[in-house]
Each structure stands twice: as structure tokens, then as C-alpha cells.
Structure 1
Amino acid sequence: MSVRPWVTAVGLVLLATAAIAEPLVKPARVDEALRGLVQRGELVGVAALVYERGREAYFGAFGQSDREAGRAMSRDALMQIYSMTKPVTGVALMQLYEQGRFQLDDPVAKYLPEFANPRVWVGEGVDGQPLTEAAARAITIRDLGRNTAGFAPSFGLPPAMARFYEQHYAGTGFQSTLAELVARIASAPLVDHPGRRWTYDRAMNVQARLVETLSGQRFEDYLREHLFKPMGMASTRFHVAPDAADRPRFAATYSRQPDGSLRRIPDAEAHAYNDTDWALKTGTFGLVSTLDDYMRFARMLLDGGVAPNGARVLKAQTVQLMATDVLPAELSDRSWLPSKGNVGFGINVGVRVGPPRHAGDVSGAQGEFFWDGAANTLFWVDPRHDIAAVLFTQFFPPGDARLNQIFRESVYADDPQASAGSKPRP
């Protein structure tokens, strides 16, 4: 049995018990769940990889990565992981934390002066411009990690606010630098005082800019040198050139229509960010990866910061810090985060703080930390069961709860404490 170097005494007992018990992951059950989604036409293709107790417990690939080309789904398919970029950004920033470059309660303005004297939207003037007041306190780096800085979310705002922020960010396209984008974020009013609301997801771009400022390297160069190369994540990157040798592995992306059918999104649209080596390399989205590459990242987190090849990426206590819920109890406005289940938030990851609350809730074990991507990719790390799981597919709209739950339930069906499907309906 491999012992996580950062688990509690209770966790050690659970792990010791798990070493005696039968493996939780039943490959035939996961096969049946994922194959059924493809056979019923709910997905064009899907692939998943699960490690349990340090060994590969499951791999399966069904359907096609490119339906029109007749290309079967494969283990090495290149997928756009969208917001699964965010945990990578968090690890990069926390490497610099370990080096003593900053403290979590430092004001962001200490390193990025444009964030001095933030102001908060309190209304709209007769000229249509926002009325503001001084923020109650400074934005801290801890706020960036837990999404409590007060930055305007990318969606879900009232119409007047949405129009203002749309105009404010106009012109900050892929041709902008990260520094230019973050300067625009700093010049916008906050939608609430720091620490009072969970708002997604501009904070991770500020994190990426901090990585640049503190390291003296461009964000993408830092990721390549300090994360991807040491961990052997050879396929993970922002740019997949049209003439790249592995370009044929780049999966197509689909859009689910009202009748349930899946229409291909033209590659020029779906791959617009990754086709070109744009100036903007974001901390919020944009990476392309493979199942095995992202599993190396997930296993590194599961094994207390040590990658499968033995590379030390983070200290065990830093992983624990990232994987601990730090949302204040009094923070009641958590946007759509509760739709992820019985969760809080750590540093760039959701953290499962208790078992499923009811039969319709998301399955998962207490202590798990996770995140997903807009094209319905997903990963989680479960120290209690010594499990890391990655699922890749490529379709919109994001946040497909049925796919998420079917996959999770196929893994956790034998654990009543982690399986929502095993609970009686209220």
C-alpha cells in the first residue's frame, strides 16, 4: 500500500482498510456505463483512465474522436481541457509560494501595483457608467486562489453590468498579452467586496500574471520548464500547429442539439485558440492534453506532489493546502458551485466536504478534490480511496451533469458513503 504523505490519522486508517478490501473500481461496470453513452448516441466518443492504489485500474475508449474522419477514440487523442488548465496554474503559483516569493495573505498589489485601491460597483449613474465605492479591504492572493477577489464573473450578471463589462473587455482578444488583459481586469470595478462572494474565473489569469512577475518567465515557458518537462507531459501545450506531427490526434468538438443529436463544430471555430500561437496564454483555459499526460498531473497531486516518474513538483503540505476547503462559512453567495455537489473550494480546485446529500447529488468521496472543463472533460483526486480519475470527451454545452454522474457512479457504486445512487430518494 502506498501511503499518502499528507493524510490525517483517520485517513491512514481508511487507507489501511482499503488495502485489505477489494478494489473499488470494477472495469466491467465502467465499461458498461461509458459504452452505453456512446451506443445511445449521447456521446460521439469518450475515454477514461482511473488509477487506484498506484496501479492502472481502468482504461476504456469508446466511439470516435473524429466521427467524420472515422477516427476511433484513442488513449493518445489530443483534447482541449479548457478549465482543467486552472489547477495547473494553481500548481505553478504554489511552487513559487514554496520558494518564499509571496504569502497567501499578501495584497496582490504588492506584486501587481495596478490592483492598489480597488473599487466596487454599487450602482449605475445617469450616464450609464458605474457608481463605485472603495473596497473594504485589499484583494489578497488567497482571494485569487479561492475565487473571492470580487472580479466580475464571465456570465450571469444583470443586464446593465453585463453590458458594461462586455464593453470594458472588448479588444482583449487572443492577440493581447497576459499583462494587458490583467491590467484591464485591474481597472474594472469589482462586483462585490473581496471575500464576500465566489465569482468565477478571472482570478486565475491574475495568478498566471503573478507567475510571470515572480518568476521572470513567460507563463507558458514557466509551465513547460517547471511542470510539463519534469513530469513527462510531452503532449500538453497551448499551441497545436496545423502542420504538427501529432495534429491528426486532435479530437473534433461537437455541439449537442435540442433533439439530442451531436453536430460537429467546424474546426476553424473549435480550434481557433490552439491553431495559432497567440500572444495570450491564459491561466483560465487553453491547454491541450492527453489522458496519460493529465493523469501524470493528477497522480502527482494524489502522491503528495511527487510525479509518477519521481519528480518532486510540490511539497506534500502544499498539496494539502490546495486541497483544503477555505471558503468562509459566512460566504453564502457561491454562484453555481453547489451544483458540483457537497463541495467547498481550495486553491483552483473544488473540494468535496461531505458525502452526497441526496439521491440526485453528485457522487464522490469526502476529501476528494477536482475540476472539469467546458468541453466536458473531468478529473478528480480521491485520497480516501487512493484514486485518481480522468475522463475526456469533447462536446458542448458544458457541465453535462448526466455524464459526470454516470461516470462517477460507475466508480463509486460499491461505496454507500460516496455513491448518491445508493441513497434512498427523499
Structure 2
Amino acid sequence: MMSKWLAAAAAIALLGAQTAPAFAAPKSASASATVRIDKQRIDRALAEMVSSGRAIGVSALVFENGREVYFGTSGFADSEAKRPMARDTLAQIFSMTKPVTGVALMQLWEQGKFGLDDPLARYLPEFGVTKVFAGTDAAGKPILKAPDRPILIRDILRHTAGFGYGPGESFPEQEFGRLDPIPLKLDIDLAEFGRRLAQVPLLFEPGTRWHYSAAVDVQALLVEKLSGQRFEDYVRDHVLQPLGMRETGWTQPEGRFGRLAAVYAKKPGGTLDRVPDADNRRLNFAPKTLTMGGAGLASTVDDYMRFATMLLNGGNLDGVRILKPSTVKLMATDQLDPRVTERLWLPGKGNGGFGIDFFVRTGQPKDAQENRGTLGEFFWDGMASTLFWVDPANKLTAVFFVQTVPFDGSLHRDFRKAVYGPDYLGPKGD
């Protein structure tokens, strides 16, 4: 049962550096607190995550001004084998794949391959006939209609297209389950994924709601269409290899399996049970056809820190330009219209909105329960409770690895509190 659950969840993924960053903090900000990294405080927080039974093993890496100021671990990558979390431990990062996909697509935007407000169907014609679910008629049959406006590329960048992310009770979710655009075996290609998803009715009119979705897999399909390369090959050639992320990928050499952290699933009573190795092996060490844009990467803390540092530096790392500073700033700017008030669980991430494949903080934490963070920061996380963020105001980046499912936001709360201190509010905007 656990094996089937993880396979389903994983398939849809419900969840030397430069020292002079080019991407500056908001000009309107004025510091109201100073960040002081307290190594012992972070060590205690990591140890408590394990001792409390919320995690089997954790690791964390923090950079300030492009230099390491903290690395620590607690617990095991594999409890049964007594293999501790280590610097070279590989972890499934699930939805932390999404920002990598977004960077790849925005490279093509910089090349003039598309416009943000272009209709998606201009490049992927199958989405030109996608309908919107408009309720049911007197006989209980679904009413499907053409959308009031086309799905725009901007919509697939900010989860406002109307797509779902798996089977459920509504008619569009039932159709998602029937058409199965992201099958468990990952045995279709991105083109077939697109053909199937385009037949699933939209949950709402494009641009009217925020709803976490398969849109980032559509981004991956668009990368293939515009670049002429397989998505996995494009990302390897234009993002991962130029950044020196040599141990990050959808497909890993067999010899690395012994470094992969086991995933642990929380039972109703709160105990953590190991997910069978076959599920971990299936995602990165077994043949598959579908490379998802929204999930599937395995990485190390150091590799992913290189990605985070590139973003802090405005798209540059070690003299290699991945994106322009203006493009990173665009991605890290809230793209949601104030009229988009239905935002699913997004407000639980903090006081902010959503940019291009990132949550974006637009104000100080509102209360003591909210995660500590800084105005202007941007971040995302993963289904197994992994997290990273970029804090331009403090020139700080952080990567947190753990393999606990389902997603446990309390781990992020405690890690952020340990990094910033419990009372930190950061810069105050206008």
C-alpha cells in the first residue's frame, strides 16, 4: 500500500561562488533586524527534528555573501543500514525540480523564442481546443465550454492556467485520472503527456485562480518544442553542466544508488516507515520515458546550492551566465493579479505571492506562527519536505534536505527559525 501511495505522489509531485550578487534587495527596504548565523542553534534544531520523530535524517547548508557559513547533519540517510546523512548524500527533491525547469524555459524567452503573453496554443496547438468545466446541467452532465480567453504562457509559469494535478472528485479531476497524463510507470513521452492533458477540462477560467498543477510539465514540453532537444538533454546541457551540478539529474548512474537517501513515510500514529527501495530506484535508477518538468531530479546539497547561488548572483556563477539579472528579478517578482484571491494552500507558505516557479515574499511575517523570512526572498520546496530559498536582502541562500513524506511544514518552520532567530522580521517595505 505504501509503495503504491509513494509512486502516485512521486508521479505528480504534489510538492567557489560569486561574492558580489547582481540581484539587489528592494530599494524601498530598510533593515529592521540583523541576521546572525548561530551554528549551535541550527545544530540543535536539526537534532530535534530527528529526536522528535519527524525525520530520520536531515542536512542543511547556508551561504552568506557567496561563502559557506553553516553545514550540518543529524540522523541517517538510511536508518536500517545505519548510514548517516552526509555531504554527498543524494536526495529526491521532487518539486524543487520546478525552478530548474523554469530557468531552462526562461533562457529560451531571453532568446526571443516566445512572449509571456503569447497563447500557449501558438506553440502547442493541442491546447487550442482545451475546454473549461462550467458545472453540470439539470441532468447532472458536465457543461464544457471554450475558455473566455486562451491559456497564456504566463499562466503555465504561475499556476493560473486551470490545470489540475491528479485524480479527484470534480469532473476535471476524474478526467485527469481517466486520461492519466502522468502515468505511474512514466512510460509515455512529453508529447503524449501534452496530448492527454489538453483533453482534460480546465478547473477554472485561465488567469482567475492559483492552483498547483501539472503546468511545469507543460513548461518542459515547451522547452522541447522550442529548443528541438529532449527536455532532459536541454537542461543538462544548458543549466546543470554549465553550473557544475554534476551529480544532479533525472537519470543517475547505478553506482550512486548507495548514496541515495531512503524515503520515510509517516503513518497515522506519527511513526516513520521506510518506503521500499524499489520506489526510489524507479525514479532515478530505472529506465523511463517521461521526464517531468515538475519533479524527478535527485541532487546533493552542494549541487543545489550552486543553483541557488546562481539565482542570488542574478543568473551568474563562476563567470558562467545562465540568465540575465533582469530575468531573475522577473521570476522573483509576484506575478499574481490582486483579483486572484483563490490561492489554494499558497498563503500557508507565508506573506507573499507567486512569481515564475517561485513563492515570493512580499511582506514581513504577520505573526509568530508564520515562517521566518525576508521581504524579497523567493523559494520553493519538495514533497519529501526539502526546501531552498534565496534572500537577496541578506545575500543569503539556504538548502535543507530531508526525506519525510507527506510534506511536513513544521520542519521548515523550525529550520528557518534556527537560521534567522525566532524574532527576525527583516526589512520592512513601503
TM over 0.5, yes or no?
Answer: yes
Aligned with residue 315 of structure 2, among 305, 309, 324: 305
CA-to-aligned-CA distance 1:290-324 (integer Å, 9 cap, x gap): 000000000000010012x3211100000000000
Aligned with residue 333 of structure 1, among 315, 331, 342: 342
When residues 12 and 354 of structure 1 are mapped into structure 2, their CA distance, relative to the original with a 3 A threshold, is closer
Matches within 5 A, 1:126-137: 130-137=142-149
Aligned with residue 366 of structure 2, among 342, 357, 362: 357
When residues 266 and 357 of structure 1 are mapped into structure 2, their CA distance, relative to the original with a 3 A threshold, is same
Q: Does 1:318 align with 2:335?
A: no
Matches within 5 A, 1:76-155: 76-124=88-136, 130-154=142-166
Partners of 1:144 and 1:120 in 2: how far apart?
A: 16
Partners of 2:27 and 2:64 in 1: how far apart?
A: 19
Structure 2 partner of 1:7 = 24
Deviation at 1:53, TM superposition (A): 1.5
Secondary structure of 2:302's partner? helix
Structure 1 partner of 2:279 = 269
Deviation at 1:412, TM superposition (A): 1.2
Matches within 5 A, 1:163-242: 163-169=174-180, 172-173=183-184, 174-241=186-253
Deviation at 1:13, TM superposition (A): 6.8
Deviation at 1:133, TM superposition (A): 1.2
CA-to-aligned-CA distance 1:89-131 (integer Å, 9 cap, x gap): 0000000011111110111111111111432101246887632
Partners of 1:166 and 1:88 in 2: how far apart?
A: 27
Aligned with residue 414 of structure 2, among 395, 402, 406: 406
Give the aligned residue type for 1:350: F
CA-to-aligned-CA distance 1:243-270 (integer Å, 9 cap, x gap): x222210111101122322111111124
Partners of 1:338 and 1:382 in 2: how far apart?
A: 19
Give the aligned residue type for 1:405: R
Secondary structure of 1:47's partner? strand
Name structure 1 gaps, 5 residues minimum.
420-426
Deviation at 1:170, TM superposition (A): 6.6
Give the aligned residue type for 2:83: R
Moved more, 211-220 or 172-181: 172-181
RMSD of aligned Cα (Å): 2.2
CA-to-aligned-CA distance 1:209-231 (integer Å, 9 cap, x gap): 11001100000000110011111
Give the aligned residue type for 1:163: Q
Deviation at 1:8, TM superposition (A): 5.4
Residues 211 and 343 of structure 2 are in contact (CA less than 8 Å); yes or no, is this contact kept in structure 1? yes
Deviation at 1:169, TM superposition (A): 1.8
CA-to-aligned-CA distance 1:65-111 (integer Å, 9 cap, x gap): 00111111101101000000000000000000111111101111111
Partners of 2:246 and 2:160 in 1: how far apart?
A: 33
Secondary structure of 1:388's partner? strand
Structure 2 partner of 1:417 = 425
Residues 363 and 409 of structure 1 are in contact (CA less than 8 Å); yes or no, is this contact kept in structure 2? yes
Secondary structure of 1:231's partner? coil
Higher relative contact order by CA 8 Å / sep ≥ 6: 1 or 2? Answer: 2
Secondary structure of 2:394's partner? coil
Structure 1 partner of 2:406 = 397
Residues 172 and 180 of structure 1 are in contact (CA less than 8 Å); yes or no, is this contact kept in structure 2? no
Residues 64 and 73 of structure 1 are in contact (CA less than 8 Å); yes or no, is this contact kept in structure 2? yes
Residues 129 and 198 of structure 2 are in contact (CA less than 8 Å); yes or no, is this contact kept in structure 1? no
When residues 170 and 299 of structure 1 are mapped into structure 2, their CA distance, relative to the original with a 3 A threshold, is closer
When residues 122 and 365 of structure 1 are mapped into structure 2, their CA distance, relative to the original with a 3 A threshold, is same
Q: Does 1:369 align with 2:378?
A: yes
Q: Percent of counterpart pairs with the same letter?
A: 47
Give the aligned residue type for 2:250: F
When residues 281 and 128 of structure 1 are mapped into structure 2, their CA distance, relative to the original with a 3 A threshold, is farther
Structure 2 partner of 1:424 = none
Secondary structure of 2:269's partner? coil
Residues 243 and 320 of structure 2 are in contact (CA less than 8 Å); yes or no, is this contact kept in structure 1? yes
Residues 23 and 312 of structure 2 are in contact (CA less than 8 Å); yes or no, is this contact kept in structure 1? no
Partners of 2:75 and 2:389 in 1: how far apart?
A: 23
Moved more, 221-230 or 163-172: 163-172
Structure 1 partner of 2:306 = 296
Partners of 1:127 and 1:178 in 2: how far apart?
A: 36
Give the aligned residue type for 1:214: L
Residues 62 and 71 of structure 2 are in contact (CA less than 8 Å); yes or no, is this contact kept in structure 1? yes
Secondary structure of 2:283's partner? helix
Structure 2 partner of 1:249 = 259
Deviation at 1:171, TM superposition (A): 7.7
Give the aligned residue type for 2:414: I
Give the aligned residue type for 1:397: P
Residues 412 and 418 of structure 1 are in contact (CA less than 8 Å); yes or no, is this contact kept in structure 2? no
When residues 306 and 353 of structure 1 are mapped into structure 2, their CA distance, relative to the original with a 3 A threshold, is same
Residues 181 and 197 of structure 2 are in contact (CA less than 8 Å); yes or no, is this contact kept in structure 1? no
TM-score by length of 1: 0.91
Partners of 1:148 and 1:313 in 2: how far apart?
A: 26
**Structure 1 moving runs of 4+ over 6 Å:** none
Deviation at 1:279, TM superposition (A): 0.7
Deviation at 1:353, TM superposition (A): 0.9
Residues 57 and 75 of structure 2 are in contact (CA less than 8 Å); yes or no, is this contact kept in structure 1? yes
Partners of 1:88 and 1:291 in 2: how far apart?
A: 15
Give the aligned residue type for 1:416: Y
Give the aligned residue type for 2:76: Q
